[in-house]
Amino acid sequence: MSVTLTQEVIDVINGKETKKALATVDKDGRVNVAFKGSLHYEDGLLVVNELLETSQTNKNLTYSLWYDKEVAAVFWGPGATEYQVRGIPRKVLIEGPVYEKAYVAALERNPENDLAGVWYIEPTEFRDLTLPTRIAEQKAKYPILGHLDKDVNPDYYK
């Protein structure tokens, strides 16, 4: 089921300074992770331009599109903000005006580039992985977890 992302999250996903990576799996379940600077959010979908026809990401995105398998993107933004979006690839453009525009942009960045496809991923799950947020969540939900020394009352030893 598709999820809607808040503007705050979208701003991080689309941020120029944000580090972006995409994790995919192949037909045998082997994981592949790659930095994907082109990842961005557009009209309810994650979009990624895959440059290489033979990349493992390109093959795995195809596999996931064919079999409705999830991929996961992570975004590391300003202030150590970290978001994860899972999703299912729904479409790849390998021709047409949108593809050609992305192709020209890829060549402008580096004339040696090519473009295998413009991939569209439907978000299915969002997670805020920013560390302080996750720590607070874990503390609230599972107070049993964590090391004792952090809970020690310093006044006890005085």
Partner 1 sequence: METKIENWREKELSIEEVFEKYPEIPKIVILKTDVHRRGYILSEKAQDLFNKGDYQSQADTIFGKKEGENKIPIGLVFRDGTSLVGGYYTNYGIRDPYVIDDIDGKFFLTDNGKVYEEVEFWREPDFYRKKTSKGTPMGEVVNVRPQRLNVAISRVCHFWDKPGEGCKYCNVGINGIDSVKKGIPDLFDYDEVAEAVAEAVKQKGRYAMIMVTTGSILTGKKVFDDEVDEIIKAFEKIKPIFKTNDLKVQLIASAYDKEQLKRLKEATGIIGYTSDIEVMNKELFEWICPGKAAHIGYDEWKKRIFDAVEVFGEGNVNSGIVGGVELAQPNGFKTEEEALEKYLAEAEDFAKHGVSIAYIVWGVCGIFHNQVVPSLDYYVALAKGLNEINIKYNLKPYFDDYRRCGNHPNTDIGRIYW
Residues contributing to the site for partner 1 (CB under 8 A): 26-27, 53-54, 59-60, 62-63, 65-67, 90-97, 99-100, 103-104, 107, 115, 117
Nearest CB to partner 1, comparing residues 33 and 94: 94
Nearest CB to partner 1, comparing residues 7 and 54: 54
Nearest CB to partner 1, comparing residues 64 and 81: 64
Q: Residue 8: in which H helix or E strand, if any?
A: helix 7-13
Nearest to 117 by CA among 41, 28, 48, 43: 48
For the bound state, the minimum distance from the C-beta of residue 148 to partner 1, rounded and expressed in Å, comes to 49
For the bound state, the minimum distance from the C-beta of residue 91 to partner 1, rounded and expressed in Å, comes to 4
For the bound state, the minimum distance from the C-beta of residue 74 to partner 1, rounded and expressed in Å, comes to 24
CB neighbour class for 16 (10 Å; exposed up to 12, middle 13-18, buried from 19): exposed
For the bound state, the minimum distance from the C-beta of residue 41 to partner 1, rounded and expressed in Å, comes to 19
Tokens 């995105």 label which residue?
61
**Long-range contacts of residues 3-10, Cβ cutoff 8 Å, at least 24 apart:** 3/123, 3/124, 3/125, 3/126, 4/44, 5/41, 5/85, 5/123, 5/126, 9/83, 9/126, 9/128, 10/41
Nearest CB to partner 1, comparing residues 5 and 102: 102
Nearest CB to partner 1, comparing residues 18 and 57: 57
For the bound state, the minimum distance from the C-beta of residue 30 to partner 1, rounded and expressed in Å, comes to 12
Nearest to 60 by CA among 139, 141, 119, 11: 119
Q: How far apart (Å, rounded) are the C-alpha atoms in residues 131 and 69?
A: 27
